[in-house]
Structure 1
Amino acid sequence: MTPGAGQLDGKVAVITGAGTGLGAAVARLFALEGAGVTLVGRREAKLVEVASAIEAVGGRALVVPGDVSAPETAMRAAEETTRRFGGVDVLINNAGLHAAPYLLHETPLDEWNDFLAVDLTGPFLFTKAVLPSMMQRRDGAIVNIGSMVALVGFKGSAAYAAAKGGLVSMTRTTAVDYAQYGIRANCICPGGMEPVEYGNLSEQQLAKLYEAVDLSGGPLINRLANVNEVAAFLLTIVGPNGRSLTGAVIPFDAGFTAK
C-alpha cells in the first residue's frame, strides 16, 4: 500500500508510547493508511527508528520525545503537530506502565502515584491538549488503551486497575461531553499482546503477574494477540467504518473477561 491512499488519507494522528509495541504498530499502519503521525514517548531513539521506517516508504512522521505525564509534553505535541500537519484528527492514548503485582496494603505510595500519572493523567493531558483542534474541525476520534484488569477483579493490581478503571470512566464522559462536536471517544481493553516490553517490571514481578493470570483462569482462547492485529482493530475504530462507535468499552482479551 502507498501512503496517502488509505482509510486515513489526509488525517493526522497523535500516538503516545509510539516507540515500541502497540504504539509503533499503530504508527506504521496509520501512516500507511495515509495519516500524518506524531510519535510521542520517553525514548527518543526508539521514536526516531519508527519515524525513519515510516518516512522510508513515503509516510509522514513527527517525533516529540517526552514524559506523557508532564503537561508540557502534551502541549508541545499538540502545538508541533498543528504546525507540521495543520491540526489533530485522531489521538491514541497508548503509553502506560504495565501492572506491577502488589497487594493493596503492600503498594508503595510512589508506585500508586506513578500509575495514576502515566496511565490516567497522561491520557487526560493529551486529550485536553488536542480537543481544541478537534472541536474546531468538528470531527475527531480518541481511543484510550485500557486493560482487561479494569473490567474484572485481578489479583495484585490495585494501582494499575484504579488507573485503567479511571480511564474507562474518562472515556465515557469524553464521549458524552464532545459528541456535539462530532468527536468520538472509545476505549479498548486488551489482554496480553505480543511483542510487548515489560520494561518497568523485574523478573520476580513478572513471575507474579503470570501467576495472577493463572489464578484467574486465563483466557478462553489460548493465544496472545499480535500488536498488528490490535492496530488493525484501532484503524477500524478511528476510520470511516467506525463513525457510529462512541462511548464504547471493548475487551480485546481472548475472552478473558467473558467468564
Structure 2
Amino acid sequence: MGQQVVIITGAGNGIGRETAKLLATQDKALVLVDFDEKSGQDTLHAVKEHQQQAIFVHADVSKSQDVKKYVEAAKEAFGRIDAFINNAGVLSPPSLLADLEEETFDNVISVNLKGTFLGLKYVLKEMEQQQSGVIVNTSSSAGIQGQPYLGGYAASKHGVIGLTRTAAIEYGPSGIRVNAICPGGVMTNMTKGLTSSPEENGPLRRLADASEIANVIAFLISEEASYVNGAVVPIDGGLTS
C-alpha cells in the first residue's frame, strides 16, 4: 500500500490536533475536519510543516450533507480513504440527570453519537468498495462506566462502543477493522471547564496529554495492529481497571 490517506474529525483541537501532528510526521495524507474554521486552519498550518499532502474541510459532523462533503473531499483530493479517525465530540456542562436540559442532551447525542454514526455510514461505503480500511472511533472512559453529572455524555459514549462493535463484526469480512479508544481525562480545551477530574485520584494521579492518546491511535491504524478489530481500548491511566 502507498501513502495512507487519513480523515480526522475534530482535528482543530486536543486529541484530533495531536493525532494530525503525529501522523504528519509519518507521511500520511491528511483530511482535517472541524466545525471551528479557525482552529481547523491552525491545525492545517501546523501539519504542513511536515506534510504538504493535507487539506481542511469545514463540517458539522451531525449533518449528513457535511459528512458527505468531507468524504467527497477526501476522494477528490487523494482518491481513497485508508483510515478514519472518527473523533469529533462535545462535552456538556456538568448536571444531575433530572436537571439536564433536553436541548443539551439532544446536542451531545447529535454530535457524539449521531456524528459517529454518520461518519461510519458514509466512510464504510467507500472502504467496502476498496475492500480495505481501518476506523478508530473516539469513545471515553465514560463509555465504559457511568460518569456522575455527565449523563448525556456517558450515554453518547456508551453508544459509540455499541456502533464500534457492530461495525467490526459486519465489515471485518470486507477487510475493514473498526476499534474504539476510551480516553480518560485529557488536557484539552474541551475539559478546561471541569473543576476536577477522577483521573487526578486514579492510579497515575494525573490527566493524559493528548499526544499520549495520539500514539495509540497511530498504532491502531498501522499494519502492526492488523489483527486488532472490535477492540475497546481504555487509555485512562487505569481508572476503569
TM interval, shorter chain, is over 0.9
TM-superposed CA distance for 1:228, in Å, is 1.1
CA shift, 1:122, in A, is 0.5
The 5 A counterparts of 1:1-259 are 10-194=3-187, 196-198=188-190, 206-207=194-195, 210=196, 213-214=197-198, 218-258=201-241
* Cα deviation code 1:222-259 (max 9, x no counterpart): 1222111211111111101111001011110011111x
> Is this contact kept in 2: 1:54–1:60, CA < 8 A?
no
Where in structure 1 are there 5+ consecutive unaligned residues?
A: 1-7
* 8 Å contact from structure 1 (residues 29, 231) kept in 2: yes
Q: Counterpart of 1:161 in structure 2: which amino acid?
A: A
Check whether the contact 2:137–2:179 (CA below 8 A) recurs between aligned residues: yes
- 2:180 partner SS: strand
CA displacement at 1:172 relative to structure 2: 0.0
One-letter amino acid matched to 2:42: E
| CA shift digits 1:184-205 (9 cap, x unpaired) | 11111111112x0038x8x5xx
- Distance, in Å, in 1 between the alignment partners of 2:5 and 2:38 is 22
**Partner amino acid, structure 2, of 1:249:** V
Preserved CA contact (<8 Å) 1:171 1:247? yes
Question: Separation in 2 of the partners of 1:193 and 1:57?
Answer: 25
Secondary structure of the 2:90 match is: coil
Instruction: Report the CA distance between 1:62 and its aligned residue.
Output: 0.9
- Distance in 2, matches of 1:9 and 1:158, equals 43
> 1:5-45 CA deviation, whole Å, 9 max, x = no partner?
xxx95111110010111101111111221211111111112
Once the two structures are superposed, residues 203-232 of structure 1 have per-residue CA deviations (whole angstroms, 9 ceiling, x without a partner) of: 5xx23xx2xx45x98321112221112111
Q: Take 1:152 and 1:58, find their aligned partners in 2: how far apart are those partners?
A: 38
CA RMSD of aligned residues (A): 1.7
Q: TM-score, normalised on structure 2?
A: 0.94
User: Taking structure 1 as reference, are residues 110 and 85 closer, same or farther at Cα in structure 2, changes over 3 Å only?
Assistant: same
The answer on whether the counterparts of 1:32 and 1:59 sit within 8 Å (CA) in structure 2 is no
Separation in 1 of the partners of 2:19 and 2:200?
Answer: 30
TM-score (norm 1): 0.88
Which amino acid in 2 is paired with 1:122?
Answer: G
State whether residues 9 and 35 of structure 1, in contact with CA within 8 Å, keep that contact through their aligned partners in structure 2: no
SS at match of 2:211: helix
C-alpha separation between the residues in 1 aligned to 2:22 and 2:180? 19
Q: Please identify, of 126-135 and 15-24, the stretch whose mean Cα deviation from structure 2 is larger.
A: 126-135
Structure 1's consecutive aligned runs of 4 or more residues displaced over 4 angstroms after TM superposition are none
Runs of at least 5 residues in structure 2 that lack an aligned partner in the other structure: none
In 2: Cα distance, 1:29 partner to 1:9 partner = 18
Query: What is the match of residue 4 of structure 1?
Result: none
Question: Identity of counterpart residues, as a percentage?
Answer: 33
Counterpart CA distance in 2 for 1:84 and 1:135 is: 19
Give the aligned residue type for 1:224: L
